Amino acid sequence: MKTRLSSLGRIVFCLFVATAALALSEIRLRAQGLNQEEGGQAGVRIERPQRGERGDRPPPRAGGPRGPRRAPPPRATDGSREAGTPMYTVAPDGIGVTMREGASPLPYTKNTVTYIPWEEGSKLEPLKVGSELPSGSVAYTKTGAKVDLNKLVMKKPTVLIYYRGGWCPFCNVHLQELQESVPALEEMGYQLLAVSTDTVEALKAYDDSELEYQLLADPDLTLATNLGVKYKVVQRYIQHVKEIPHGRAFDLEERNGGHLITPGAFVLNTKGTIHFSYSNDNYTVRASREALLKAAKAALEK
């Protein structure tokens, strides 16, 4: 009897040892598998995807390159940016505001780069209040269609903005600001038009998808001449424009004959009579939203 029990004990003990050995072997195999997956095996190096090659990134957007977008307010780089300075400062005339973040009175002096030197005798005078929109005032859409502004103005009272172009970050900020005025202007019965020195091709490339008013091109500066906002810039500024970064550089001589414009805003009635006119030789300054809406309302009461 004792012999049988002894034999049975040895069998149970052997089974226990075998089971333990199998379990230990399985643990070791699992550990080796994990090490292999993590690149822990000697002499094996896992090649990780290089930056920009990872498959979890969305594919590039289809279609051609987009044109310039409305830029955020440019930051001052001339030491004028100070803590606590408001984003937009009112110009000394009380009408314009600076399309610039943290600007101080420095940009309002004619000794700073915000004034473009013009060739003597080339600067025109912007049309004043009481003047009529000259006949033959035309512009072009992004498709190249010619627009007779004299006829267009006869249909609705008009706020007409003339800006430098899509290459100008201050103009881009201004275009976005103007969008905020559209509902109030439309409620008063106005149309908002914005014209620039851009070519039709440059206007077509510009991303105006967020704007609810029409942008027009004046590549030969006929309208700029009619409005009195054109002038010939000096050669050193033509070279500066050729070196503008972020794909906005161009040959000003080739595009506009070396001319630029003084940004302007005009409020006209349906007879083409100007009831409000504002321009500033400092290209960072534009008529404020409040000033434009106030002038538009006042023109309807006359």
pLDDT recorded at residue 264: 97
The runs of H, that is alpha helices, within the chain are 2-37, 149-155, 169-179, 182-187, 200-205, 222-227, 235-242, 252-256, 289-300
Share of the chain above pLDDT 70, in %: 66
Are residues 292 and 181 in contact, defined by beta-carbon separation less than 8 angstroms?
yes
pLDDT, tens digit (0-9, with 9 covering 90-100), for 270-288: 999 999 999 998 888 999 9
pLDDT recorded at residue 90: 80
Both tokens of residue 41?
């095996």
pLDDT recorded at residue 45: 40
* Rounded average pLDDT over 139-158: 97
pLDDT, tens digit (0-9, with 9 covering 90-100), for 222-257: 999 999 999 999 898 888 888 878 777 889 899 889
* Rounded average pLDDT over 166-172: 87
pLDDT recorded at residue 13: 60
pLDDT, tens digit (0-9, with 9 covering 90-100), for 100-132: 643 333 443 455 556 788 898 999 999 999 999
Both tokens of residue 188?
């008063």
Report the DSSP beta bridge partners of residue 96: 287
Are residues 275 and 267 in contact, defined by beta-carbon separation less than 8 angstroms?
yes
pLDDT recorded at residue 44: 38
Share of the chain above pLDDT 90, in %: 48
Both tokens of residue 172?
């881009």
Pairing of strands 264-268, 158-163: antiparallel
pLDDT recorded at residue 241: 81
* More confident: 191 or 86: 191
pLDDT recorded at residue 104: 39
**Is pLDDT of 174 > 60?**
yes
Report the alpha-carbon distance of residue 147 to residue 221 in Å, rounded.
Answer: 14
Report the alpha-carbon distance of residue 171 to residue 176 in Å, rounded.
Answer: 9
Per-residue exposure over 259-268, b if at least 16 CB sit within 10 Å of its own CB, e if not: bbbbbbbbbb
pLDDT recorded at residue 16: 61
- Domains of the chain with bracketed CATH: 96-300 (3.40.30.10)
Mean pLDDT rounded to a whole number for the chain: 78
Report the alpha-carbon distance of residue 39 to residue 82 in Å, rounded.
Answer: 54
Q: Where does the pLDDT of residue 201 fall: very low under 50, low under 70, confident under 90, or very high at 90 and above?
A: very high
